Structure 1
């Protein structure tokens, strides 16, 4: 999937409801209340945090390209897509940013160092410059290799076989799989830089990186099935055990122990609005979270009805029609309603 395609998907979802900077914060993985709730409101989970190092200049350049093509227009404070956006129909993708939250890079670092070590050891070469220099990853991979008895020829063969078989199951183009392979280093073979791969495939660096990320997300899904035991160990600590951010989980713990919103804010030394953000995140991600502690059922139904009638999730527009509701209650109702809003 290309960067331009992802931008259009996001902009179509928030059409006329958000500013042009909204996709930037989403792709960077900003953990603000606004960004987190937009993920739920507009079902943008696949794209969260895909490009944490995305440069604003690169983003603005892509936006200007869409403006020049007439695909989007800036309308006051919001961005709207035009009829030309209808010609963009990207294929379904394997991206799952909300689940992995950038941890695909940890998986890739572990894999890269394991592949490099296997390659050198089985060529009787014990001295090499590690492709990953981070001490924590080197320690983890060293322990991992000992666990799987990496010096045995059978272990090397099985490791290589699992890579080939699992990657073959990933439903992306072979070119995308090649990008991931080109990043790996081995005996007398150095991994290619993003710039080199970009030139080799004729795509921009961001496009190349996104294709690698999509491949990794799809690959990790296959490995999670448990059919590839040597590779599955590489996912330890990589897979998110909770759909909540860490800070929201702490708020949830206090709430389950009977603390009120105000008490939680005081205990945690955070603003009340920040704790409200956490409750919106809970409503968005936990199907059994009971919001009636904050909003009556009749008011909930009224907010949802207005949202549907006017086809909007803009808080101000809903507030004008439901003045008795607080902005926090509106956000909760929209988050809890989920796909039906």
Structure 2
């Protein structure tokens, strides 16, 4: 499963990103480069789906795939799929993993996971008359949330448990057996402690990475179903309350964005904030990538955007250096980045950039 995701990333990057690009994508590095890669290569659903991934774990999997001759490293470290790897990718018959919405839900899913796990433990323990137990989630905010839920339904705990069981059972039935079993064995409650990642890994003969991918995908799936079906999944929907998609803009970029909204120019914002012009430009590109309906017209004319994108298509490249050279310096790198960022957000044309 994890190897499948790696191969999807390699296929989409088309030999134009190193292993670091894949690692930054999966761990959710909040840089304009990584975010633009995610958008441009249509991999934003994988953004940040494995924040705990270690670089040596990624390298180990890559070495294994290399040994199988399913990928090769070109030009000093750019992975590409071989014919064997391409066939293996398209013959994949494991879990579909089609519910990831990493860039939109990167902040919501971990909180949803903690809420659901602690609510399940609390409600089922109380129903079993277990009133003293150690919470499996050591998060004050989540504990406070569960206490508030319990205070509002303490006379209806059996109904809450029954509904939660029905909702989860119904949704697990729609997933592969491996996803459903991993998820079920992970849950704690009713005096039973869920299995650790290591225990699941050993019991199911999976890698740690596969266990993580399966579980994290299940929480994405449950969250999305609960958001869409409040009437069908009332308890799961309750766990999503207040958790919405995030625009991912950093605090510093948000401040720049606010100044720009007041009508200030790049030069004025640069002076006011005491930052480099290039930093303010980075903030603008970031805003164009992640803020819906952000207008790039104050910084680049729509005709110039069209010309840049047409040139990128004609050259069949996503590397800014090649596009910059083709224009003989007509556009600077900020304009090139902005053109692609704005178009990726608004029309999802699928271009990314590379300064190299």
Q: Please report how far the alpha carbon of residue 97 of structure 1 lies from its aligned counterpart in structure 2 after TM superposition.
A: 0.8
| Unaligned residue ranges in structure 2 (runs of 5+) | 352-356
Q: Check the 8 A contact 1:121/1:151 in 2, yes or no.
A: no
Query: What is the match of residue 289 of structure 2?
Result: 284
SS in 2 for 1:11: helix
Q: Are 1:66 and 2:65 an aligned pair? A: yes
When residues 143 and 78 of structure 1 are mapped into structure 2, their CA distance, relative to the original with a 3 A threshold, is same
- Cα distance in structure 2, aligned partners of 1:297 and 1:233: 43
* Structure 1: gaps (5+ residues): none
Take 2:339 and 2:312, find their aligned partners in 1: how far apart are those partners? Answer: 10
Taking the aligned partners of 1:211 and 1:94, their CA distance within structure 2 comes to 11
Given the alignment of the two structures, is residue 154 of structure 1 paired with residue 159 of structure 2, yes or no?
yes
- Quick one: distance in 1 between partners of 2:175 and 2:250? 29
1:141 to 146, 149, 157: 146
Report if aligned partners of 1:166, 1:223 keep a CA contact under 8 Å in 2.
Answer: no
Is the alpha carbon distance of 1:207 and 1:253 closer, same or farther for their aligned partners in structure 2, counting shifts above 3 Å?
Answer: same
Are 1:78 and 2:78 an aligned pair?
yes
d(CA) in 2 for partners of 1:313 and 1:156?
52
| TM-score after normalising by structure 1 | 0.91
Q: Distance in 1 between matches of 2:314 and 2:128?
A: 68
Q: Which residue of 1 aligns with 2:241?
A: 236
What CA RMSD, in Å, does the superposition of the two structures yield over aligned residues? 2.2
In 2, Cα distance between equivalents of 1:157 and 1:259:
56
| Structure 1 partner of 2:263 | 258
Equivalent residues of 1:118, 1:150 under 8 A apart: no
Is residue 148–residue 230 contact of structure 1 (8 Å, CA) maintained in 2? Answer: no
TM-score after normalising by structure 2: 0.87
Offset of 1:246 from its aligned partner? 4.8
* Equivalent pair of 2:127/2:190 in contact (CA under 8 Å): no
CA contact (8 A) 1:73 1:82 kept: no
Q: Which residue of 1 aligns with 2:106?
A: 101
Give, in angstroms, the shift of residue 273 of structure 1.
2.7
| Distance across 2 between alignment mates of 1:115 and 1:276 | 46
In the other structure, the counterpart of 1:11 is 10
* Aligned mates of 1:83, 1:25 — CA distance in 2: 26
Taking a change above 3 Å as real, the CA distance of residues 310 and 149 of structure 1, as seen in their structure-2 partners, is same
Residues matched between the structures, number: 338
User: Residue 261 and residue 313 in structure 1: after superposition, are their counterparts in 2 closer, same or farther (change >3 A)?
Assistant: same
Give CA deviations for 1:249-279 in whole Å, capped at 9, x if unaligned. 4433222111222333444454433332232
Inter-partner Cα distance in structure 1 for 2:270 and 2:82: 43
Contact 1:150 1:156 survives alignment (8 Å) = no
Secondary structure of 1:292's aligned partner: coil
Contact 1:45 1:97 in 2 (8 A): yes
What are the residue-to-residue correspondences of 1:1-341 with 2, within 5 Å? 2-70=1-69, 71-76=71-76, 78-87=78-87, 88-89=89-90, 90=92, 91=96, 93-149=98-154, 151-168=156-173, 171-225=174-228, 226-227=230-231, 228-242=233-247, 244-286=249-291, 288-322=293-327, 323-338=329-344, 339-340=348-349, 341=351
User: Partner of 2:225: helix, strand, or coil?
Assistant: helix
Give me the whole-angstrom Cα distance separating, in 2, the residues matched to 1:320 and 1:32.
25
Instruction: Give the conservation status (yes or no) of the 8 Å contact 2:107–2:246.
Output: no
Q: Is the 8 A contact 1:103 1:238 kept in 2?
A: yes
Alpha-carbon distance in 2 for matches of 1:175, 1:102: 26
